[in-house]
Chain A
Amino acid sequence: SQQGEEDPQALSIQEGENATMNCSYKTSINNLQWYRQNSGRGLVHLILIRSNEREKHSGRLRVTLDTSKKSSSLLITASRAADTASYFCATDEGSGGGADGLTFGKGTHLIIQP
C-alpha cells in the first residue's frame, strides 16, 4: 500500500520559477525522504528530514515537515530545465527489527519549461 500522497500529480512551470510539491502520509514515521526520478539518472535521494525536525535545506531544496498534520513539502527554488523529473516522498515507518524499507507515494511529475 502507498503511504504518501503527493500533490499535485503534475506541475508545469517556467524556468527560474519556484516549484512546490506536497506530500501527506498516514502513519507515524521515523523520517521522511524525498527522491527524484528521471530516465537519465534513475531514482536519486535528495534529502532526509527526521521526525523531530521541522525544516531542512540542501542547496536549492527546502523541505518542511509537520508531523501533527502528517504532511511535508518540497520547495525547489530557481528551477532549471534539469529539474524536470518525477519527485517522490518516501516514509520509514520504523516497524522495528531493522526493517526500514521505504513506503513511496505516487509522485509529482514536474516539467520545467525553458
Chain B
Amino acid sequence: EAGVAQSPRYKIIEKRQSVAFWCNPISGHATLYWYQQILGQGPKLLIQFQNNGVVDDSQLPKDRFSAERLKGVDSTLKIQPAKLEDSAVYLCASSLEASSYNEQFFGPGTRLTVL
C-alpha cells in the first residue's frame, strides 16, 4: 500500500515570497490533515479536511496560510507571504475517516527554510 506522498521534500525561499506544498493521501482516506513541526517541537495541527470540506482550521494563520482539497483527494497548502518564523517541516497525514480511534498516517514532510 502506497503511503502519503508529499512534494517538494525541501524548499528554500526568501521572506515575503510565496510557497505551495502538495499532498496525496492514502487511497480511500477521507480525512486529511496538515501539521506544522518547528525544530525541536512536536507537530501542530493547522487544518483538517473531511473529504473536501474543512472540519477544523482554528489554528491556521489565515492571514497568510490557505489550504484546499478541491476534489476530496489531493490537497495543497500555501503560504503567502512567508515569514522567517514559518521555517518548519510541514507534514501531511491522512486517515480513513474522522474518528477518535483511527490511526493517522504521516507523509515524509516538506522542510521549508525561509531566509
Contact surface of A with B, Cβ cutoff 8 Å: 2, 4, 30-31, 33, 42-45, 48, 50, 88, 90, 92, 94-95, 97-107
Contact = CB atoms under 8 A, between A and B. Distances in A.
Interface in B60-106: 91, 93, 95, 98-106
Contacts of A90: 42
25 contacts: A2-B42, A4-B42, A42-B91, A42-B106, A43-B109, A45-B103, A45-B105, A48-B101, A48-B103, A90-B42, A97-B55, A98-B50, A98-B55, A98-B98, A99-B48, A99-B55, A99-B98, A100-B31, A100-B95, A100-B100, A100-B102, A101-B33, A102-B43, A103-B45, A106-B40
B16 interface: no
B56 interface: yes
A36 to B, nearest CB: 11
Interface of B: 31, 33, 40-45, 48, 50, 55-56, 91, 93, 95, 98-109
B41 A30 contact: no
B23 to A, nearest CB: 13
Given A48-B103, A92-B100, A101 B42 contact: no
B101 A104 contact: no
A42 B103 contact: no
A99 B93 CA distance: 14
A95 B42 contact: no
Contacts of B56: 95, 97, 99, 101
B107 A42 contact: yes
A44 B98 contact: no
A88 B44 CA distance: 12
Contacts of A50: 101
B45 A2 contact: no
Name the residue in A45, A48, A98, A100 with the highest tally of chain B Cβ atoms < 10 Å from its Cβ.
Answer: A100
A43 B44 CA distance: 13
Contacts of A31: 100-101
Q: Which 10 A-B pairs have the closest CB atoms?
A: A104-B42, A101-B45, A98-B98, A30-B100, A99-B56, A43-B106, A45-B103, A101-B48, A88-B42, A92-B100
